[in-house]
Amino acid sequence: MAGAGGRTWRDLLAGRARKRKSAFGSVAELREAALHLLDHHQNLNDLLLEVEDSVKPGGQGGVEHQQVSSESFIASVLQEQASRLGVPTAILAAKNAVTNIERICQASASPSQVPLLNLDQRKRLSCLLQTVKDLLANNMFCRSLFCQEMWKMKDPPVLEAVWHLHRGDIIGLGELLESNPAVPAAVEWLCSSLCGLCERAEEPSGDAELAGHVLSDFAIVFLQNGFQQTSELGRKLEFKKVPYICRAVLQRMLTWLLDAVGKEKQEDVSTLQAMRFWLNVFNMSVYKSAVHPDSLQQFFSHTLTEVLTYNPLLKVSDAIHMQKEWSFTRTCSLLTALYRKLFVVFSAKESICQLQQVLETHEVNWQHVLSCVSTLVVCQAEAEQLFKDLLSHLLIKAFENFDMENMITAFLIARQAALEGPAVFVPYSEWFKASFGSAGGHHGSSKKALVFLFEFLSELVPFEAAPYLKVHIMYPPFVPTKHRSILLEYITLAKTRLADLKVAIEDMGLYEDLSSTDESVQPQGQALRDVEKALQIFENTRRIPTSVIEASIFRRPYYTSWFLPALLRPRVLPKTPDVRMAFIDSLKRADKIPSNLYSTYVQACCAMKEKMLQGGSKVETSHSKETVEQLKAELAELRMLIVDQAKYEDVPAQIAVISDRLASVLGHSSDENEAATLNSPVQVDISAPRLEPCHQSVVDLLLTSFCQNLIAASYFNPPDRQGPCLSLFVKMMCGHRNLLPALLGRLCQLIYHQGPSLNDAHILGLAAFVIHLSESRALIPEVEASFGISQPVPAKVLSVSEFWNCLLACRTEESFAFCMRFCTAAASYLMCKFSSYSHEDLCALLPPSLVKKLQYVMPRLCLEARGILCEEAKTDLIWSSLSCPSLNHKRASLCLWKQARFQELLKEKAFQLSFREWLLLELEVYPEKDILSASERQDFHYWAIYQWYLPAPSASGGCDGDLEKACGIIINTILDSSQRLDLSSCDQPKKAVNPDILCKLQEMVLELGCRRKLRSGCLDAQRHFLFEILQERLKDRKHGSALGEQLWRQQELLLHRRILVGLPASALILTCQKGKKTTLDCEDFFHFVNSELKNVCSRGYALSYDITAHFFRGLLNASLDCEESAGGVNDVLTACQTKCPTVLFSAALWWPRLEPVLCSQWKRLFGIPLAEELERLREWQSSATSFLFSGVVFPVSGPPWISAAFLHCTVQQQSPRGRRRNALKRLETDTEQLLVSLLFFSLMDLISAKIAPKEGVDFQTSLEWSLEILQCLEERGTSWPLLFHRAEEDPRKYHVLRSAASDCHIRLLPVAFYCLTPCFHRELLTREQSFLYVALDLYIQLLRLFVEGKDLPQPDRAGQSPDSTEHVNCAWPCLLYVLQGDPLEVISTARRFLLSAIPRCPAQSFGNIQLLLDTCEELDPELGAALLQFSRPAMAMELDDELALF
């Protein structure tokens, strides 16, 4: 009992004992008086509370003595009172304890029942429980009666009071619940109390921690009793009601939660917060070792089943219609949070297996099932493949039993998973194609299976959304031809449904993304995207896309109603025509734009320009600031999760939210092309990447967020302990296909264009980002990298790894430093981030291009790296070298380079930098801007070639010590490098071969020559490795269009010529030993000239001066090895007359420049008179000059075509027009072959004047000279048409001339022939019986030139490359120039001539035209009819002749 001032009864007694002496004589008297007093004044209920101050400060012994005194005193009082009342002490104590608890719980000022006590109640309850514990220890407290009395209280106990009883091991919750006679009341009390507890926990009263403890302890009881295991049943057999109550409570609370899921928008925030607090029951950390693992799994499994089967009211049709609203980000956050907590206990496989089991055995709530699917694919990385397996299983079962339920389940799951984007699951269109698009699909086994599929699809139609119907129509299931009617019936039904939805299949975009289920894209929006895509294709190919042509024919309504209006949107036209203007012009010329529509467009553009000049209007941005701000907020939230390792499990859900916000932001940019199909390459213009400002801001926001997240996370943990957060973030970005062009374009800007100016944090962030992109490379299509609109070569299609190789250019001092820093950062981050990966997994993840760039740069910049220096380095040491404030880039690179694990990676074939790859990189360097000086570069080249690659085995990219092999690699690489579309060529063509590499090649070729001479003996039958290499490159190469192939071959041969001229001159010629005599072998060179090199002749019959002079210099040098140098030279030049006349014709053309060079060299080498054949060349030139200017007779010595070549060249170079005619007249009568040869050379010049105007040959002058020669031939009656016979038809006199001419000039001989028609006299038709045949054959060739080349564009001479002095070796462009842009003009001239000549030709002329008649009738029916008409008498005459023979 408490006295005045709150002092206890014992204190009062003690105090009085100290103040005065006892009035009693003995202890017995005193005890008797005390008992008398208690009998009349005691309050047993208050006595039980008298423990709070029973312990006073003092010595330890004093405390124990006072506690013992207090316990014994209360016990004695209880015993006395129980004795007086005639009841057991334990029963009296229990009843009084219940009375006290009831008084304490009723003391609250709150009118309603609350789950927690206030501070005063908690203090008083603590005192009571301490006393009860003491009584229990002395077996003076009845637990069973206490439990029964608890339920007899007027109001149910406060939940916290029960918790204290449970927590203090006085009365367990299970025991208390078991004693309740009314089980439903107990369940109701517990559930209402728990709901109140959850609501109280979220109030700002500071009770959240206590509420958490209460909930955790009770949850343990619920699971221990509600989900008992077999091993626990024995010791809990006394509980019969408790398991039911625990399960019922858990069920009621789950129902309370799930009821709110469907009403999330209607519930207030506090209620939702309370429910979130209840979700703590599903935290694994609550139970630790207190609950058997099997019980936990049973509870979580039961809960998942209950969620999936809760209130299964929705029909399948509702699910089909509404499932888009059940994606991860749109699902109630309570439900997704519950799923995520449940999935912690299970693996992804176990979760999906349980989902499958529930689907097979229960009626389900489709909203919950499909939102569960979305949560699984978003939060479980392995779920994608597992769901694919599940879908395959469902389809197999469906077609085995023709079961509609399995079919609909499979389709709903596939669509739901696809809603979360390609980053987590394949798009629906891809799944549908993979499942049903081939004969091997599940439906292909029988007609019954096929009918079953289409019956199912037909039943879906009334409920289908438009995007899915479009997929089914555009990618229909495979159907055998005999069953096509089934497919057509379904397509008709689907189109009807689309019409009901007011979506016409004709309005589908040309490049519509059928993987998207977004129904908000209207035809006008899709048309804008189609226009952007078409413009990109046109920009790279300069052709109207095939899809646009097809749409203009087969999809006319969409083309005219949507596509053209989107293309022809009025705007202020730029002064310089852009891609859109060029595209519109191409369509207009192809009659693909109606005239009235085009006129309206032009007028509207003019009106807009006037309006702009008068004031203009502001362009409104389509970006919504609100959605961008939302995206920023979610990115900031992600950063908070990434820096806290305990919150990593929340990252996937947050990234899904970011993905949803990002989709909203990107959806607002209607002009951006979002419609690229899954397999179409991402187009990036590396020379000048173009980004929409709105998309650039979004990409910058994402890249900045990634870098900040990386830096923030690295502040607390190294990369290998940062979890999968950044990987998921990048994977999410890759899942947004419409973001990829802007993302890769921005990376191109940052890495390729701005790389050297980036700071260390930017480089580290971008390098890590590239690594994670490589991790998600399966989601990134190929990259179509273009290098500027002016380039004639089509864009390259690259993998992502090759794309990084393009961006990391090493050409200048700044780019070398940046490349080393970037590649070091990327490789170091990968090795730290994925340090636990196996060697194979690491190899699969690391982009080879980054490793190869590092292998190239490191030895170039660091002498220490020129060798294998391997030391074991810890992973964190690499990371610390990158992240330290005072970063030393070379030290960080060497730290990585020396690490043993990195050196192991370099041994993998995929990562080895071969000699060829090294050369390609080295050839890109600008020597004047190199980071190395000339001497340093020379030392580096010597080390790389002679010390590293030459002795290295071919398996590791080396040359096996084979010098000839090394030369071959260098030559091929130089040619490949020159053929490649160099990035620098966008602004300045790179023409010169790297002089340092060429110097090394020259050294090697000379060394090879010396080795041949030192070999012991037989040099017979030697092959010339140089020409073998060049010929091999030209064999069987057929890629791309005919024009592209011809252009490639043209450039390749010009490069071959450049390589040959750059090598030692004697390398063109082999020396051979024939018996004891050394001879010169030029067979390989002659063959190369005849088959290839003559086709880059500028004049059609002669090589360029550089290669001509090079050959003659080499011939003189090589003749030094012969016993008789003059004899060796004579043999070669004599052989030229029959084996390679082009060389002699070249000498004739260039002799004025060539003679002094050769004479000087001969004198320097030998000091004797010129070799006989060289002297003859001098004589031919001298004779031609004397004939023209001195009037002497022109002597024809040797082959007449050689004399003709010298005479023709001298005429062209020195003779005025007046003298040429006189000179022809002075030629002797026995010079017919000379005149015909002159005609041939003049015709070659006539053609060259058009196709190579920069050669200085005038077309009119050449034409006049040809006509003069022809007139001279006619006057002499010389037969000259044989000159135009094909080689296979007449291999006689003039075969040498035709064999020396380039293929292009030979193909254009028909054009030259019909330029000569003014000199074709009537006598010619009667004199030359073969004339009609020749003229007709050439006319057919002319027509074929036109037909074969009709689709080829007119080339741009200004952009010709690589040598402006050379013509393009392509017959049709040449024909265009010869015909001065009108190919029909010369054809018409030739046709008129033949129609007028045919009637005049004698009958004998028609005798040999039968082989040409069929072709002529096919190409020109009118001409064929004329030939047929006039050839009949000739055929009759031939028949008479044959009969007469017998």
Return all residues near 1291 (Cβ < 8 A) that are at least 6 apart.
Answer: none
Which residue did the predictor score with more confidence, 1376 or 866? Answer: 866
Q: What is the pLDDT of residue 285?
A: 86
Mean pLDDT of the chain: 80
In one letter, which amino acid is 30?
L
> Under a CB-based contact definition with an 8 Å cutoff, are residues 409 and 317 in contact?
no
- List the one residue out of 84, 103, 244, 117 whose CA is nearest residue 180: 244
In one letter, which amino acid is 894?
L
Question: Could you read off the pLDDT of 1065-1082 as tens digits, one per residue?
Answer: 988 898 888 777 888 989
Q: What is the pLDDT of residue 505?
A: 59
SS3 1294: coil
Work out the pLDDT band at 396, boundaries 50, 70, 90: very high
Question: Could you read off the pLDDT of 989-1001 as tens digits, one per residue?
Answer: 445 678 889 999 9
Q: What is the pLDDT of residue 1130?
A: 93
pLDDT higher than 90, residue 1146: yes
pLDDT higher than 50, residue 1415: yes
Q: What is the pLDDT of residue 749?
A: 93
**Long-range CB contact pairs, 1190-1194, < 8 A, 24+:** 1191/1226, 1193/1226, 1193/1228, 1194/1226, 1194/1227, 1194/1228, 1194/1231
SS3 907: coil
> Under a CB-based contact definition with an 8 Å cutoff, are residues 897 and 878 in contact?
no
pLDDT higher than 80, residue 2: no
pLDDT higher than 50, residue 217: yes
Q: Give the number of other CB atoms < 10 A from CB of residue 3.
A: 13
Classify residue 1166 as exposed, middle or buried by CB count within 10 Å of its CB (0-12, 13-18, 19+).
middle
Q: What is the pLDDT of residue 265?
A: 59
Q: What is the pLDDT of residue 1444?
A: 34
> Under a CB-based contact definition with an 8 Å cutoff, are residues 272 and 334 in contact?
yes
pLDDT higher than 90, residue 850: yes
Q: What is the pLDDT of residue 1375?
A: 43
Q: Quick one: average pLDDT of 1140-1157?
A: 93
Which residue did the predictor score with more confidence, 833 or 577? Answer: 833
Q: Which of 946-960, 1089-1103, 1431-1445 has the highest mean pLDDT?
A: 946-960
C-alpha–C-alpha distance, residues 945 and 997, integer Å = 10
C-alpha–C-alpha distance, residues 222 and 278, integer Å = 13
Q: What is the pLDDT of residue 1383?
A: 60
Q: Distance of alpha carbon 610 from its chain centroid, rounded?
A: 44
Sequential DSSP letters for 1013-1069: HHS-S--TT---HHHHHHHHHHTT---S-HHHHHHHHHHHHHHHHHHHHHS-GGGG-
> Under a CB-based contact definition with an 8 Å cutoff, are residues 416 and 424 in contact?
no
Helices (H) and strands (E) counted in the chain, each on its own, are 67, 5
> Left (φ > 0), alpha (ψ -120 to 50) or beta: where does 112 sit?
beta
SS3 951: coil
Question: Could you read off the pLDDT of 867-918 as tens digits, one per residue?
Answer: 755 554 444 456 666 655 445 778 888 888 888 888 888 889 889 999 999 9
Question: Could you read off the pLDDT of 398-436 as tens digits, one per residue?
Answer: 999 899 999 999 999 999 999 988 888 988 988 999 999
Q: What is the pLDDT of residue 45?
A: 56
Q: What is the pLDDT of residue 350?
A: 93
Q: Give the number of other CB atoms < 10 A from CB of residue 60.
A: 7
Which residue did the predictor score with more confidence, 40 or 1307? Answer: 1307
Question: Could you read off the pLDDT of 786-840 as tens digits, one per residue?
Answer: 775 444 445 567 888 889 988 998 999 999 999 999 999 999 999 899 988 889 9
Of all residues in the chain, what percent carry a pLDDT higher than 90?
27
Which residue did the predictor score with more confidence, 432 or 1045? Answer: 432
C-alpha–C-alpha distance, residues 668 and 691, integer Å = 15
> Under a CB-based contact definition with an 8 Å cutoff, are residues 92 and 81 in contact?
yes
Q: What is the pLDDT of residue 616?
A: 39
Structure tokens at 601: 């467009």
Q: Which of 711-715, 749-753, 1229-1233 has the highest mean pLDDT?
A: 749-753
CB-side neighbour CA atoms (13 Å) of 760? 12
Q: Could you say which DSSP state residue 463 is in?
A: G
* Cα-Cα-Cα-Cα dihedral sign, residues 470, 475, 477, 482: positive
Work out the pLDDT band at 1318, boundaries 50, 70, 90: confident
Q: What is the pLDDT of residue 482?
A: 87
Structure tokens at 553: 């024919």
Return all residues near 1128 (Cβ < 8 A) that are at least 6 apart.
Answer: 1078, 1079, 1080, 1118, 1119, 1122
Of all residues in the chain, what percent carry a pLDDT higher than 70?
81
- The CA-atom distances, in angstroms, between 374 and each of 327, 427, 514, 789 are 6, 14, 20, 44
Structure tokens at 1014: 């030192």
E strands in 428-581: none
pLDDT higher than 60, residue 5: no
pLDDT higher than 90, residue 686: no
b/e 993-1025 (16+ beta carbons within 10 angstroms → b): bbebbbebbebbbeebbeeeeeeeeebeeeebb
pLDDT higher than 90, residue 987: no
Return all residues near 775 (Cβ < 8 A) that are at least 6 apart.
Answer: 727, 730, 731, 845
Q: Quick one: average pLDDT of 503-518?
A: 52
In one letter, which amino acid is 699?
V
Q: Distance of alpha carbon 245 from its chain centroid, rounded?
A: 57
> Under a CB-based contact definition with an 8 Å cutoff, are residues 1066 and 1117 in contact?
yes
Question: Could you read off the pLDDT of 322-363 as tens digits, one per residue?
Answer: 888 898 888 888 899 999 999 989 999 999 999 999 999 999
pLDDT higher than 90, residue 629: no
pTM of this prediction? 0.73
